[in-house]
Amino acid sequence: MSHRRPTGMPPAHGLLVRAALGAFPLTPAVALALILTACSTAPDGSGQQPSGPTGAASRGEFSVPVLTVGTGQPTTTATLTPTALPPPTPPPIPPPTPALTLPGGGTTVFPDRRLVGFSGYPGAPALGRLGVGNLDERGADITALAGEYAAGRRPLPVFELIATVVHSRPGADGLYRTRIDEGVVRRHLEAARRHGAILLLNIQPGRAAFLDEVKHWEPWLREPDVGLALDPEWAVTAGQVPGKVFGRTTGAELDAIAAYVAGIVAPNRLPEKVMVYHQLSRSIVREPSGLQPHPGVTLVVSVDGIGSRAQKAATWRSIVAETPDHVHKGFKLFYDEDAQIGPLMTPAEVLALTPQPEYVLYE
């Protein structure tokens, strides 16, 4: 007996008819497949859906013949509405990369820490205690000294390495400065990490631009425990020779550097980056109010006055008075120069300064 598909009936509908007539077994799986196929087939069998939703089609409905087995003739029609399949489950969103931390944990420097460190250049005792002897011995010295400055805060040791060093001769490029070998920076960073310290790259630019030197050291500044120390007394202009005149900078120039450093911190998810600038006298930094706060950058002025306790305290008061409030205050002591005039200030005397120094550096 031949069973023809009714005129206009799509192929999937015809298969439903044949199944109903017993041409093949209609299992649940086969029935579902036929119904879903019928949903996607146009009534004219073309495989194209009608343009624009109208009537039952707009509701995703379709009609199939309901046959009486044995007669092969449709007796009525039934409207079926397919159940929408659930949307695919999107893949899980990976958690953000955790921010790197400072030595001892955390991502902020102040107000719970106090920085204490040595500055220096390898093999040059005149440039600071850090350049004398074994790095691990100096690290142990810094750690012990930092403990004397705790005063309710967590000490954070500092290695302040002179990375761009000034010279009294111009050199081949006429800039009166050279850059230390990268291997030396690496050794100091490794030693700093062994002692739970941060490394600050000190820049004495000569006639070079501060920002150019900062850009040179940027690969190191992407490390979570490496910051900057700027020495503007060695920043001279064309026609000037370092050591014969005091260099200087401006709050606006420092602000441009801080903004650049902030641009390193954010995309690399770094902890706060320490940026120190040394100031020997008020004339070294003109219009300090031009230095604005920047997210991710901890600004510190290191007051570098040389002399007796009274002279150093006077320099401290004069510089602090014109330093913006958002800049943290630091104090520098010189083992040799200060001692030639009077006894070196003790930690208790340094901590008695107002405001209390948050960075204490020894050269």
Q: Please tell me what DSSP assigns to residue 16.
A: H
Residue 244 CB burial class (10 angstroms; 0-12, 13-18, ≥19): exposed
Confidence of residue 345 (pLDDT cuts 50, 70, 90): very high
Confidence of residue 301 (pLDDT cuts 50, 70, 90): very high
d(CA 191, CA 197) in angstroms, rounded, equals: 8
Q: Which amino acid is residue 19, in one-letter code? A: A
Query: 48-69: per-residue pLDDT in tens?
Result: 444 444 444 444 444 444 444 4
Confidence of residue 281 (pLDDT cuts 50, 70, 90): very high
Query: 244-263: per-residue pLDDT in tens?
Result: 999 999 999 999 999 999 99
Most confident option among 22-26, 66-70, 276-280, 303-307: 276-280
Architecture of domain 113-362: Alpha-Beta Barrel (3.20)
**Average pLDDT taken over every residue of the chain:** 84
Question: Is the model's pLDDT at 25 over the cut of 70?
Answer: no
Helices (H), 21-134: 28-39, 55-58
Domains of the chain by residue range: 11-80, 113-362
Helices (H), the chain: 11-20, 28-39, 55-58, 135-148, 182-194, 210-216, 218-221, 251-265, 309-322, 337-341, 347-351
How many other β-carbons are positioned within 10 Å of the β-carbon of residue 138? 24
